[in-house]
A = this chain, B = another copy of it.
Amino acid sequence: MPFSTNRMLQSKLFTKTRKEAPADEQSKNAELLIRGGFIHKEMAGVYSYLPLGLRVLKNIEEIVREEMTAIGGQELLMPALQDKVLWERTDRWDDEKVDNWFKTKFKSGGDTGLGITHEEPLTQVMSEYVQSYKDLPFSVYQFQTKFRNEMRAKSGIMRGREFLMKDLYSFSRDENEHIEFYEKVKQAYKNIFSRIGIGHLTYLTFASGGIFSKFSHEFQTLSSSGEDTIYLHEKEGIAINKEVFTPDVKKDLGISDDFTEYRAIEVGNIFTLGTRFSEALGLSYKDEKDGSAPVFMGSYGIGVSRLMGTIVEVLSDDKGIIWPEEVAPFRVHLLSLGAKNDVTEKARELYDALVEKGIDVLFDDREDIGAGEKFADADLLGIPYRVVVSERSLKDGGYEVKKRTEEKGEVLSLEKIFEMFR
């Protein structure tokens, strides 16, 4: 786990749950996340991540990092402030061409903007390091805060004006080498969506390409709150984005005309850039015959904060959030009911024992809160396992363990609990 602590006392946690979200919040993800104290709304499309929310965000980040490392990606970190000159070379500076820049000025003179993506500066960096075909292929990625000056922001953390993105860029000798890596990323993305618990709702989707490829690929998660419309071929398990859903494309893909329309959330995209950026910014290499060739590039995005919002959209129920185990802020939500000494003491013992075993525990040790409110909070916060210590559970010989996804719990002994969380 990417944390320096795996324990938290709810009585010390500064956030509290609320009955109501801000009136101006329209999205389910923001509503539940604000009510649970996971995030705080600063302005439309601009959110803070509070302790519980940051833990979820970091868990997702860590899963993405592991999968990026597994395909050989080298992690780096680019700045938000952008050098206008580079973006002018690719004709992406002008507000007429790219309409969602935040622009500002240096006091020392000159314009700058807040990075909406990082092809330009990265291509520039690589032009200082890539000389020969021997330096290729490779790929780099980052977790970096992107800024996009959206006109509207009403999808909660699914479309922020400031948001955390994982962007991966690949640098290959030619298209064949590029395609090999591109296919690896496809698989890595599938692993990510499966691990964060939305794999069963997420489909590889054909979308519009660029100069260098007929299609790009998106990963779309079915959800009525999605901003995209896709046509899903259930049997083949692939989809086509409405923007390219034409007779020609269907024929191209060679699958029968058996599509169903869905709303969906774009949770990832992979894109063949070809030599668009390397040619504009002078990123070339010496090939084996001493000739010069432009580097063949690809880019691959995942909105980490958007993933968090998507999980809430598609996995919550009417009581609150349901975090999948790998992304949950804690694995166990321990509740002590009543302020009787015996219960308090047993609950604290169990807390220490679980933490000692390396299990992440949020302990609701609050003494002035009734059972009903603690249960409601536990449902809202959505931690996978709820463990209740009460007079009744102790009389029944242990602690009541209930999964967030199940209606009924069962009383288990300490040994059984350790076995369960091993």
Chain A interfacial positions (CB closer than 8 Å to B): 2, 4-5, 12-16, 37, 40, 42-44, 46-51, 53-54, 57, 62, 65-66, 69, 72, 74-83, 99-100, 102-108, 112, 114, 121, 125-126, 128-130, 135, 138, 140, 145, 147, 149-153, 161-162, 171
> Chain B residues near A14 (CB, 8 Å)?
74, 126, 129-130, 135, 138, 140, 171
CB distance from A46 to the nearest CB of B (A): 5
B162 touches A4 (CB 8 A): no
Q: Considering the chains assembled together, what is the distance between the CA atoms of A209 and B161 in angstroms?
A: 36
B42 touches A79 (CB 8 A): yes
Q: Considering the chains assembled together, what is the distance between the CA atoms of A81 and B78 in angstroms?
A: 18
Number of copies: 2
A104 touches B107 (CB 8 A): no
Among A5, A16, A54, A100, residue most surrounded by chain B Cβ atoms (within 10 Å): A5
**A54-B76, A79-B47, A138-B14 known; A65+B4 contact, CB < 8 A:** yes
Q: Considering the chains assembled together, what is the distance between the CA atoms of A151 and B108 in angstroms?
A: 5
CB distance from A83 to the nearest CB of B (A): 5
A43 touches B128 (CB 8 A): no
Q: Considering the chains assembled together, what is the distance between the CA atoms of A104 and B114 in angstroms?
A: 10
A76 touches B48 (CB 8 A): yes
Q: Which one of B69, B78, B106, B150 lies within 8 Å of A5 (CB-CB)?
A: B69
Known: A42-B78, A49-B76, A57-B77. 15 other contacts (CB 8 A): A13-B74, A16-B129, A37-B129, A40-B125, A43-B112, A48-B76, A48-B77, A48-B125, A51-B76, A80-B162, A99-B107, A107-B149, A108-B151, A108-B152, A114-B114
CB distance from A23 to the nearest CB of B (A): 14
CB distance from A411 to the nearest CB of B (A): 32
Among A4, A69, A129, A151, residue most surrounded by chain B Cβ atoms (within 10 Å): A4
Q: Which one of B4, B66, B74, B149 lies within 8 Å of A106 (CB-CB)?
A: B149
**Residue on B with the closest CB to A50?**
B76
Q: Considering the chains assembled together, what is the distance between the CA atoms of A138 and B43 in angstroms?
A: 25
Q: Considering the chains assembled together, what is the distance between the CA atoms of A65 and B51 in angstroms?
A: 13
B74 touches A107 (CB 8 A): no
Q: Which one of B83, B108, B153 lies within 8 Å of A42 (CB-CB)?
A: B83
**25 CB-based A-B contacts, threshold 8 Å:** A2-B2, A4-B62, A4-B66, A5-B69, A13-B74, A14-B74, A14-B129, A14-B130, A15-B129, A16-B129, A40-B128, A42-B81, A42-B82, A44-B108, A46-B79, A48-B77, A49-B77, A51-B75, A54-B76, A81-B147, A99-B107, A106-B149, A107-B149, A108-B151, A108-B153
